[in-house]
Amino acid sequence: MEYIKQRVRDIMDYPVKGVIFRDLTTVFKDPRALHIIGWDLAQLYRDKGVTKVCGIESRGFIGGSILAFELAAGFVPIRKPGKLPADTISASYDKEYGKDTIEIHRDAIGPDDVVVIHDDVLATGGTMAAAIDLIKSMKPKKIYVNFIIELSYLNGRDKLPDDVEITSLLSY
């Protein structure tokens, strides 16, 4: 993971003063780093019977798609409102800088599914908490959650339920 950590670009005062933005685009453009992330994410779930990987818009689509491919599972996007063409369900949540909503297709997850919800970074936890609520409402067998980076000093894990296994590849 040190190879990955060395490729994360820190952008000071973005999107607002006092914030250090952990930019993963520098990791994603490195073929070796991308391969390591895909392999390491997949190793966490190879023996768990995962049938669907849900990626949160938009950077969660990258790692989520790789993970779904590695596990021979389906990929399900969790998107901002109005981006999905069929019938959806939604959840609203508070962000660091306001309020937001996410949606998923109503028929995306079934009771026989074992689901991994993936996003690139765990910050304050609001987006992932909403995603977990959406997936739980669809009553899958099991839900796992993972991130590439966890900003542990923001305590985002505290907003997530105890009955969901949470993993992060890197922690700051």
pLDDT tens profile 66-120 = 999 999 999 999 999 999 999 999 999 987 667 899 999 999 999 999 999 999 9
User: 7, 59, 70, 150: which one is catalytic?
Assistant: 59
Is 59 catalytic? The answer is: yes
Alpha helices in the chain (DSSP H): 2-5, 25-28, 31-43, 60-71, 126-137
**What are the residue ranges spanned by the domains of the chain?**
48-171
Q: Which residue has the tokens 């099991």?
A: 142
* CA distances (Å), origin 28, targets 8, 35, 47, 59, 105: 9, 9, 26, 10, 27
Is 70 annotated in the active site? no
**The whole model's pTM is what?**
0.95
Q: Give the confidence band of 16 by pLDDT, cuts at 50, 70, 90.
A: confident
Residue 155 has which token pair?
Answer: 């305590």
Catalytic hit among 9, 32, 46, 96: 96
CATH number of 48-171: 3.40.50.2020
Peptide bond into 65 cis (omega under 30): no
pLDDT score of 97: 67
